[in-house]
Amino acid sequence: MEFGAKGFEAASTRAIAEGADAYQPQINYHFESKDALWVAAVDHLFELLMEAIGEVPRAEGYADAEHFGAAAAGTLRRFVRFAAAHPELNQIMVHEATDDSARLHLIVERHVRPLYQAITALWKELLQAGLAAPIDPSMAHYVIVGAASLPFVNAPEARLLTGVEPTDRAWVERHADGIIAALLPGYRGSDQPRPAATNTTSA
């Protein structure tokens, strides 16, 4: 996405139209300004993110620490998968978070703060359950987002350093495995669905 790759100022509505296989007048017809187009793009990406990760789990919804840990691990894995599929969201955040602008205030208040608050609350409960790494809950958001997204935001560098394609499905899953192991050391189960038991008895 143009906004992710170049930032708001350098992004061209002409290039955005070409990327969407549309004509620039169509973009101008549907969006009154470049700012309005940016807001629509950001809203859409965060909608996709929330659909992908689902509701952030809370301890009260689970019978025991093992099930709570599995839910938290599943949320982390889904976030890693989203970050791999949509690096443009975190690229936009990298561009916008360096300047105290109206766009930054909008994106934080509309989208990032609610997610930050949910992750902070989750982390406090994971610490109480003995599942989480000893990270201050106020910093958990940055640790998770940074660890999960950086190989995909910096994909060209990751390719040069590792010699692999970071968006390869197996690599993404191994990356998620590592993040879960590092951030939830007290959880020893699996967040992956288990295959149904097979009936081995003969007639």
Quote the pLDDT of residue 189. Answer: 86
Neighbours of 159 (CB within 10 A): 14
Q: Taking a C-beta distance cutoff of 8 angstroms, is the pair 103, 36 a contact?
A: no
Confidence of residue 193 (pLDDT cuts 50, 70, 90): low
Which is more confidently placed, 6 or 82? Answer: 82
Residue 125: what residue type? E
| Buried-state track 140-157, b at ≥16 Cβ within 10 A, e below 16 | bbebbbebbbbbbbbeee
Where is average pLDDT lowest: 7-16, 87-96, 133-142, 167-176?
A: 7-16
Of residues 106, 119, 114, 127, the one with CA closest to residue 185? 127
pTM of the model: 0.83
- Residue 82 in this model has a pLDDT that exceeds 70: yes
pLDDT tens, residue by residue, 124-175: 999 999 999 999 999 999 999 999 999 999 999 999 999 999 999 999 999 9
pLDDT tens, residue by residue, 19-69: 555 556 666 656 667 788 889 889 999 999 999 999 999 999 999 999 999
Confidence of residue 190 (pLDDT cuts 50, 70, 90): confident
SS3 assignment, position 96: helix
- Residue 2 in this model has a pLDDT that exceeds 60: no
Report the distance separating Cα 165 and Cα 71, nearest Å.
Answer: 28
Is domain 35-183 given the CATH code 3.20.20.70 in the classification? no
